[in-house]
């Protein structure tokens, strides 16, 4: 597809941004649908974030994604943020309107739920308690999603317990917090376990978690996607639990932004998975 002078522009702001898979993913869709558009990596230092964001509508951007470490700054900087982004306290997708005003949303919760619907169709929020390992930004989006899906109980397990306790206070029912040392027991009767910590990521130690108490039909989801098969997912698969890898959430969270900026609802296909995986 030729990029003409009328091309639609979008991108991802991060620091660093070179590791981001979003350019490969969005440019795959642009080619796939024959859209005259470009999606660029935008390396923006934290101190320059607001100025860079303000410049984008002036140079014709339709919108941007925002990734680490800018998601909270984006929430503070946009002209308005939707209800879900307000609950999560972070924005990952921004649309500029014709007047240059910025509208922020958070599509991580959507991406998480869609990844489960696609890869673990037997799961529903009401199926039973969910266990969330970690209490950072990714956990916040997943907790909001699980609340909206009607999970009967959401057990937050974090190394720094105060962070888990703060989430319980902030999000309310049905959250409970569990000590990090008791993480294996927290799996008892669970229908879903999600790792949102950085454990298991290339360069980090694996997540040390015995799955002995976990029901064999519980879904195990790791949002780490480098590597795709983390030690947690390997252990879960070997005892027969359904597993969902972190690439799936990444692919699905990208859909709403693409649809808004480029006017086409994109699909997550095996060819897309292969293209992003191969990157």
- Six-digit token pair at 27? 């440019």
User: Whose Cβ is closer to ligand ATR: residue 108's or residue 127's?
Assistant: 108
Determine if 137 is a binding residue for ligand ATR (CB under 6 A). yes
Among 117, 159, 166, 260, binds ligand ATR (CB under 6 A): 159
- Six-digit token pair at 192? 């879903």
User: Whose Cβ is closer to ligand ATR: residue 46's or residue 60's?
Assistant: 46
Cα–Cα distance measured from residue 36 to residue 32, given in angstroms and rounded to the nearest whole number: 11
Contact 163, 141 (CB under 8 A): no
H/E element, 12: strand 8-14
Among 197, 221, 241, 243, binds ligand ATR (CB under 6 A): 197
Among 163, 166, 260, 273, binds ligand ATR (CB under 6 A): 163
Determine if 138 is a binding residue for ligand ATR (CB under 6 A). yes
CB of 123 to ligand ATR, least distance (A): 22
- Six-digit token pair at 76? 């503070």
Contact 16, 264 (CB under 8 A): no
Determine if 136 is a binding residue for ligand ATR (CB under 6 A). yes
Determine if 134 is a binding residue for ligand ATR (CB under 6 A). yes
Residues 29-58 interacting with ligand ATR (rule: CB under 6 A): none
Q: Which stretch binds ligand ATR (CB under 6 A): 79-87, 136-144, 214-222, 258-266?
A: 136-144
Q: Which stretch binds ligand ATR (CB under 6 A): 22-30, 121-129, 192-200, 264-272?
A: 192-200
Cα–Cα distance measured from residue 49 to residue 53, given in angstroms and rounded to the nearest whole number: 6
User: Is 71 marked active-site?
Assistant: yes
What are the residues whose beta carbons fall under 8 Å from the beta carbon of 46, sequence distance 6 or more?
15, 69, 70, 73
The closest alpha carbon to 63, from 5, 135, 134, 12, belongs to 12
Q: Which residues bind ligand ATR (CB under 6 A)?
A: 134-139, 158-160, 163, 196-199
């Amino acid at each position: 597809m030729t990029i003409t002078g009328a091309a639609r522009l979008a991108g991802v702001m991060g620091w660093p941004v070179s590791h981001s898979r979003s350019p490969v993913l969005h440019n795959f869709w642009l080619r796939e649908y024959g859209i005259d558009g470009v999606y660029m990596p935008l390396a923006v230092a934290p101190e320059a974030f607001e100025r860079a964001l303000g410049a984008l509508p002036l140079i014709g951007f339709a919108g941007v994604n925002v990734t680490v470490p800018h998601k909270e700054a984006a929430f503070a900087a946009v002209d308005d943020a939707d209800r879900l982004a307000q609950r999560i306290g972070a924005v990952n997708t921004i649309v500029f309107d014709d007047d240059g005003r910025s509208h922020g949303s958070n599509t991580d919760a959507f991406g998480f739920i869609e990844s489960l619907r696609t890869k673990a169709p037997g799961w529903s929020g009401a199926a039973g308690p969910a266990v969330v390992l970690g209490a950072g930004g990714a956990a916040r989006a997943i907790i909001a999603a699980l609340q909206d899906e009607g999970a009967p109980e959401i057990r937050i397990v974090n190394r720094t317990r105060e962070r888990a306790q703060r989430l319980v206070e902030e999000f309310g029912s049905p959250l409970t917090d569990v000590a990090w040392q008791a993480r294996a027991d927290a799996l008892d009767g669970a229908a879903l376990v999600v790792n949102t910590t950085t454990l298991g990521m290339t360069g980090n130690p694996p997540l040390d978690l015995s799955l002995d108490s976990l029901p064999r039909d519980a879904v195990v989801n790791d949002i780490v996607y480098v590597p795709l098969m983390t030690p947690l997912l390997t252990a879960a698969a070997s005892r027969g639990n359904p597993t969902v890898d972190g690439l799936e959430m990444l692919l699905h969270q990208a859909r709403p932004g693409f649809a808004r900026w480029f006017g086409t609802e994109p699909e997550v296909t095996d060819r897309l998975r292969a293209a992003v995986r191969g990157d």
